[in-house]
Amino acid sequence: MLSYALIQLFKITYMNVLLLGSGGREHAIAWKLAQSSLLTQLFIAPGNAGTAQVGTNIAIAATDFEAVKQTILTENITLVIVGPEDPLVKGVHDFILADDELQMLGVKVLGPQKYAATLEGSKEFAKQFMLRNGVPTAAHFTATAENLEESFAFLATQQPPYVLKADGLAAGKGVLIIPDLATAKTELQSMLQGKFGDASRKVVIEECLHGIEMSVFVLTDGKDYVILPEAKDYKRIGEGDTGLNTGGMGAVSPVPFADEALKQRIEQEIVKPTIAGLRNEKIPYCGFVFIGLMVNNGVPKVIEYNVRMGDPETEVVIPRIESDLLQLCWAAATGNLAGQTIAISPQTATTVMLVSGGYPEAYENGKTIHINGTTAPSMVFHAGTKQIGDEICTAGGRVMAITSLAGTKNDALALSYKAIQHIEFDAMYYRRDIGFDL
Ligand code: AMP
Ligand code: GLY
């Protein structure tokens, strides 16, 4: 026991960390990890121009597992933290577990194995998990080409609008909400015929939930958990929540309507049965669980699980965490979360995403980003950016998230919008109404 403790101590005194991913989420996580006294060196693969300011970028794809292995060996990595879902669903954790050389070195991974990542990779799998474990969620029926008549019959029992979800990952585009039954039937057929490729060969038809959405984030080692700050994000491109869905245009934390009573209910009715379900079903899980909720009259129901943090939610969640994030991540990755607590700032964090004109449809990359004067005290988390020579250029639809902390939501928003006045790039767009409904 003592020697085990000594090994743990040794490891957490000399920790090189590899963070996989390249978005605003990863910059926010990297920024926080860089403040840890347990950190020796931080590497980000592939990272962006922002992560390069707090660590060392490695130019490999997060899904190139052989290259990840080489980086682990070359840079003496002890802990791999996985940002996005893609490497998890493709099995990066399983790959590292199956590699004798990496296991001899005791390399740990924060992020679930492939089977558990199916909670995000298959809507049907997630629904069955919720049903088995008594987690409240919308009624559903799973449609395939073989049960079309029954699927139409289930649709007919539902009230409009009709919710159709591609079972598999469809780059955030696989959910359709359709006002009338006839169109819902036609869309269902076109999904089953491959509208979203193989992802929609199965379609989950769901009861439409009403209320307000919010997201809860949990860090777990599969047995114990800590609950991170909750957040609300703004998915639509246009002000007043109009227009196309995006990855997220801004976020706020805490969520003002999430009072103590609601948070208690969420923990008792959703977080506990979810973690107990993982444990009882012997699904190994260490990492973040992102639970998307619909709250109606104080009653929370799960819309979806993601097996990672949200983006841009992370850009408001992380700045409110006062505890050492690396210590918590290490505890989760080594199965030692029991007894760990998390200190959270009472301040409100807001973030506003600056995007490339045209996003979420076609847009141009390579625009020079000018920052004139100071954006302090706001934090600028890079998402789609790239250092080219002396310049930082746009390299994605979502470019930067401007986060501020203040005593109230309005003060935080005022700081973010003031900082944005100092940032400029060709065709820059952002929503001026983040938090408008709270
Ligand atoms: P998902 O990819 O499952 O998060 O769904 C994307 C968005 O569709 C959610 O953020 C909700 O706004 C909406 N949505 C998903 N499922 C439902 C549902 N059962 N009822 C109402 N809205 C839903
Ligand atoms: N902001 C939503 C997501 O990360 O999926």
Q: How many residues does the chain have?
A: 438
Q: Whose CA is nearest to atom 12 of ligand 1?
A: 213
Q: Tell me, which fold does domain 15-110 have in CATH? A: Rossmann fold (3.40.50)
pLDDT class of 173 with cuts at 50, 70, 90? confident
Cα separation, 332 vs 313, whole angstroms: 20
Instruction: Give the atom of ligand 1 at the shortest distance from the alpha carbon of 208.
Output: 20
Examine the pLDDT at 8 and tell me if it is beyond 50. yes
Can you give the pLDDT at residue 2? 46
**Which ligand neighbours the alpha carbon of 351 most closely?**
2
Q: Tell me, which fold does domain 140-206 have in CATH? A: Dna Ligase; domain 1 (3.30.1490)
- Tell me, in angstroms, the distance from the centre of ligand 1 to residue 297's CA: 18
- Tell me, in angstroms, the distance from the centre of ligand 2 to residue 275's CA: 21
CB 355 within 8 A of CB 246: yes
Bridge partners of residue 219, in order along the sequence: 226, 288
Task: Give the rounded percent of residues in the chain with a pLDDT score beyond 70.
Answer: 97
Q: Whose CA is nearest to atom 15 of ligand 1?
A: 303
Burial zone of 105 (CB within 10 Å; 0-12 exposed, 13-18 middle, 19+ buried) = middle
Examine the pLDDT at 54 and tell me if it is beyond 70. yes
| CA angle 328–251–199, rounded 5-degree value | 85
List of residues 6+ apart from 365 with CB closer than 8 A: 356, 384, 393, 394, 395, 396
Cα separation, 189 vs 211, whole angstroms: 29
The structure tokens listed for 241 are: 């929540």
Instruction: Give the atom of ligand 2 at the shortest distance from the alpha carbon of 172.
Output: 5
**Which ligand neighbours the alpha carbon of 232 most closely?**
2
For 393-416, what is each residue's pLDDT tens digit?
999 999 999 999 999 999 999 999
Bridge partners of residue 24, in order along the sequence: none
Examine the pLDDT at 236 and tell me if it is beyond 60. yes
pLDDT class of 1 with cuts at 50, 70, 90? very low
- Tell me, in angstroms, the distance from the centre of ligand 2 to residue 14's CA: 33
- Tell me, in angstroms, the distance from the centre of ligand 2 to residue 185's CA: 28
By C-alpha distance, which of 383, 222, 336, 381 is closest to 289? 222
For 329-341, what is each residue's pLDDT tens digit?
999 999 999 999 9
Instruction: Give the atom of ligand 2 at the shortest distance from the alpha carbon of 310.
Output: 4
Domain with CATH 3.40.50.20 in the chain: 15-110
Question: What's the average model confidence in pLDDT over 193-201?
Answer: 93
Q: Is the CB of 248 under 6 A from ligand 2?
A: yes
For 67-101, what is each residue's pLDDT tens digit?
999 999 999 999 999 999 999 999 999 999 999 99
Best residue for ligand 1 mutational test, from 303, 305, 311 (most atoms within 8 Å of Cβ):
303
DSSP one-letter code for 145 = G
**Which ligand neighbours the alpha carbon of 176 most closely?**
1
Do the strands 203-206 and 140-143 form a parallel or antiparallel pair, or are they unpaired? antiparallel
Task: Give the rounded percent of residues in the chain with a pLDDT score beyond 90.
Answer: 95
Examine the pLDDT at 11 and tell me if it is beyond 60. no
Please, what's the largest Cα pairwise distance for the chain? 67
The amino acid that residue 190 corresponds to is S
For 352-383, what is each residue's pLDDT tens digit?
999 999 999 999 999 999 999 999 999 999 99
Helix-helix angle 148-157:181-192, to 10 degrees: 150
Can you give the pLDDT at residue 9? 52
For 237-288, what is each residue's pLDDT tens digit?
999 999 998 999 999 999 999 999 999 999 999 999 999 999 999 999 999 9
- Tell me, in angstroms, the distance from the centre of ligand 2 to residue 173's CA: 12
- Tell me, in angstroms, the distance from the centre of ligand 2 to residue 232's CA: 10
For 209-227, what is each residue's pLDDT tens digit?
999 999 999 999 999 999 9
Q: Is the CB of 303 under 6 A from ligand 1?
A: yes
Examine the pLDDT at 12 and tell me if it is beyond 70. no
For 312-326, what is each residue's pLDDT tens digit?
999 999 999 999 999
Q: Whose CA is nearest to atom 2 of ligand 2?
A: 310
CB count within 10 Å of CB 414 equals 14
* 39-43, 51-55, 245-249: the lowest-pLDDT one: 245-249
- Tell me, in angstroms, the distance from the centre of ligand 1 to residue 303's CA: 6
Can you give the pLDDT at residue 170? 85
C-alpha 94: how far from chain center: 20
Question: What's the average model confidence in pLDDT over 295-317?
Answer: 97
The amino acid that residue 95 corresponds to is F
Q: Whose CA is nearest to atom 3 of ligand 2?
A: 310
Question: What's the average model confidence in pLDDT over 144-168?
Answer: 96
- Tell me, in angstroms, the distance from the centre of ligand 1 to residue 267's CA: 21
The amino acid that residue 94 corresponds to is D
CB 123 within 8 A of CB 204: yes
Domain with CATH 3.30.1490.20 in the chain: 140-206
Instruction: Give the atom of ligand 1 at the shortest distance from the alpha carbon of 210.
Output: 21
Can you give the pLDDT at residue 171? 76
Q: Is the CB of 175 under 6 A from ligand 1?
A: yes
Q: Is the CB of 22 under 6 A from ligand 2?
A: no
- Tell me, in angstroms, the distance from the centre of ligand 1 to residue 209's CA: 8
* Residue pointed to by tokens 């980000």: 44
- Tell me, in angstroms, the distance from the centre of ligand 2 to residue 335's CA: 26
Q: Whose CA is nearest to atom 4 of ligand 2?
A: 310
Mean per-residue pLDDT over the chain, rounded: 95
Q: Is the CB of 306 under 6 A from ligand 2?
A: yes
